[in-house]
Amino acid sequence: MRNPLNPSRLRRAESLMLDTCTVRRKSGETVDEVTFEVTPTYDTIYTGRVKMQTYEGHEVERESAGQSVVQQRSSAHFPVGALHVVPGDVVTVTASLDPLMVRRSWRITQEYPVKTHATAYRVFVDENIGEPV
């Protein structure tokens, strides 16, 4: 039986990860003594290869405003074994073939998927709008 996780399959998957990123995890927060503004603090948990993927626009009803908006489903692909992400981690593209991707951030919305024959960790992300990172 052929090994589905042979090194050449993993190398081929990684060869598509042409962008680089930093993944940070919230580690605490600081409070401004004058304005009482709360600012989150983050620790870097990964720096390395990534492939960002966006597909399938879909309409979502916002409860607070009562209006429909279009959201893109997006995912971040990481090398197998590179890191263990959790919801709330933030991935920021630091270098890309697409200059519009650089410095954009997404919030990871799921723990890395458990998959016996994974050639990449593919996790869903949401565009990071709002909370500073």
Q: At CB < 8 A and 24+ separation, what contacts does 63-71 make? A: 71/126
89 vs 115, residue with greater confidence: 89
What are the E-state strand segments in 9-130?
A: 19-31, 38-62, 67-78, 90-95, 105-108, 121-127
Strand partners, 54: 74
Q: Percent of the chain beyond pLDDT 90?
A: 53
Weakest mean pLDDT among 20-34, 38-52, 69-83: 69-83
Tens-digit pLDDT profile for residues 105-118:
999 998 877 778 88
**Single-letter amino acid code for the residue at 30:** T
Q: What is the pLDDT of residue 130?
A: 56
Q: What is the pLDDT of residue 57?
A: 60
19 by DSSP, 3-state: which?
A: strand
Name the average pLDDT for the chain. 83
- pTM for this model (two decimals): 0.79
**Single-letter amino acid code for the residue at 110:** Q
Q: Could you tell me the pLDDT band of residue 1, with boundaries at 50, 70 and 90? A: very low
